[in-house]
């Protein structure tokens, strides 16, 4: 005679684990594809100032606001006190990679801040020599050693 055996109840766990593994594999594959695409795309760049006159009037922030936003401190490495007297430098921000490439956001003589790349003229007779993490170095020319270093205050100060 025909006997019917009931199958044991099926567990949901194997199907759930297989679904989670498939989702993780899809996520990793998508992340790799996006990373490869970002390496091929040309880097986007922010507009950089071209020594144009400022259209904004007196845009210098109040002293308390400047300090709260990380107003720069000026350090004169070569003892060139005329540099401080001739121009007022304010380092607002820096974007720099480990290789030294980047840009500095500088306000000169109370004018509106502008982005400068290394080698660009900041003020008559002064160029942005190089940038580093939280600092910008100024020199009389790219061939000269930096004579003024502008640094952002350390975080938390």
pLDDT digits (tens, 9 = 90+) for 123-155: 888 888 888 888 888 888 888 888 888 888 776
Average pLDDT over the chain, rounded to an integer: 74
pLDDT for 11 equals: 83
Q: What is the mean pLDDT of residues 19-35?
A: 93
Query: What are the domain boundaries of the chain?
Result: 63-151
Spatial strand order in the sheet of 126-132: 73-75, 148-151, 135-139, 126-132, 121-123
- Residues 46-53: contacts with CB within 8 Å, 24+ apart? 46/103, 46/115, 47/115, 48/103, 48/114, 48/115, 48/116, 48/117, 48/120, 49/114, 49/115, 49/116, 49/120, 51/120, 51/121
pTM for this structure?
0.45
- pLDDT band for position 87 (cuts 50, 70, 90): confident
Pairwise CA distance, residues 114 & 97, whole Å: 19
- pLDDT band for position 122 (cuts 50, 70, 90): confident
Which stretch of 34-38, 91-95, 101-105, 127-131 has the lowest confidence by average pLDDT? 34-38
Which stretch of 72-76, 118-122, 131-135 has the lowest confidence by average pLDDT? 72-76
């Amino acid at each position: 005679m025909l006997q019917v055996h009931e199958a044991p109840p099926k567990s949901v766990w194997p199907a759930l684990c297989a679904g989670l593994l498939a989702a993780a594999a899809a996520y990793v594959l998508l992340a790799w594809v996006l990373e490869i695409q970002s390496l091929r795309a040309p880097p986007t760049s922010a507009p950089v100032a071209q020594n144009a006159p400022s259209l904004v009037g007196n845009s210098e922030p109040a002293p308390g606001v400047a300090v709260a936003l990380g107003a720069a401190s000026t350090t004169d490495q070569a003892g060139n006190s005329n540099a401080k007297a001739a121009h007022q430098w304010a380092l607002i921000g820096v974007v720099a990679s480990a290789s030294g490439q980047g840009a500095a956001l500088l306000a000169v003589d109370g004018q509106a801040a502008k982005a400068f790349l290394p080698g660009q003229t900041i003020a008559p007779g002064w160029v942005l020599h190089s940038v580093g993490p939280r600092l910008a170095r100024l020199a009389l020319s790219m061939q000269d050693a930096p004579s003024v270093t502008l640094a952002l205050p350390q975080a938390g100060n």
